[in-house]
Structure 1
Amino acid sequence: MPCLYITTNVNFDGVNTDPFHSEVTGAIASIVGRPQNLVMVVLKGSIEIVFGGNKEAAAYAEIVSMGGITKQVKRELISTVGSILHTHFSIHPSRFIFKVFDMTSLPLPSKL
């Protein structure tokens, strides 16, 4: 069950974000190999972000998944989500930071 969480300084007042949600949900499902009904997307706008010393459009995102993350998948996620953010909200890929985390990479708890 992948969860994509995006925080940006872009203001979404009066913006229909449905096309973004639809496109990014489909892309995540396809890339990670999970059904769309198990993909969660959280989008928070109007957050104060200063990147590179200025307040131009920027975003921080992270995705947490239970499996399905390889080096190739990680590269594809970063590229695709960055492209979708640029298309829908004019956030240039160079102003986008993406953290990718696979829950299955955690060490198993000790059974002491």
Structure 2
Amino acid sequence: MPTLNLNTNVPVDAVTSSDILKDCSRVLAKIIGKPESYVMISLHGGVPMSFAGSEEPAAYGEVISIGGLGPGVNGKLSLALAEILESKLSVDSSRFYIKFYDVQRPYFGYNGTTF
């Protein structure tokens, strides 16, 4: 159920994409405290994007989860994901926004129903 949707204006090749997906999945599961078998990561590279009037490398992410989020966890996730983006895509942490959604079970669908 934890899901990360990640968009960046940096083109992402297949090898880098695979590394980012694996790293983000592992980090998300560990920090939120949910099994990695429930984690979904969506990565979209080469998305037209401007941040502070500049098209230098930037990214926007959204984390959605049923529970497990909160001020302490969100800060840790923001830091860990920013480190991945900086090391893999050269996106400076000052050019990365992330939004956190803690949703109720009826608002998250899975397997033809809701949680």
Fold-level similarity (TM above 0.5):
yes
Q: Give a deviation string over 1:45-77, Cα, whole Å, max 9, x none.
A: 111101111100000000000001121001101
Structure 1 partner of 2:42: 42
List 4+ stretches of structure 1 deviating above 3 A.
Answer: 13-16
Once residues 39 and 47 of structure 1 are traced to their aligned partners in structure 2, the CA distance between those partners, rounded to angstroms, is 23
Q: In 2 relative to 1, CA 101–31 (structure 1 residues): closer, same or farther, beyond 3 Å?
A: same
Q: Which has the larger radius of gyration?
A: 1
Q: SS at the partner of 1:68? A: coil
Q: How does 1:1-112 map to 2 (within 5 A)?
A: 1-13=1-13, 15-104=15-104
Q: SS at the partner of 1:34? A: coil
Q: SS at the partner of 1:78? A: helix
Q: SS at the partner of 1:46? A: coil
TM-score (structure 1 length as normaliser): 0.88
Aligned residue pair count: 106
Once residues 17 and 93 of structure 1 are traced to their aligned partners in structure 2, the CA distance between those partners, rounded to angstroms, is 19
**What's the CA shift for 1:15?**
4.5
TM-score (structure 2 length as normaliser): 0.86
Structure 1: 5+ residue stretches without partners: 105-112
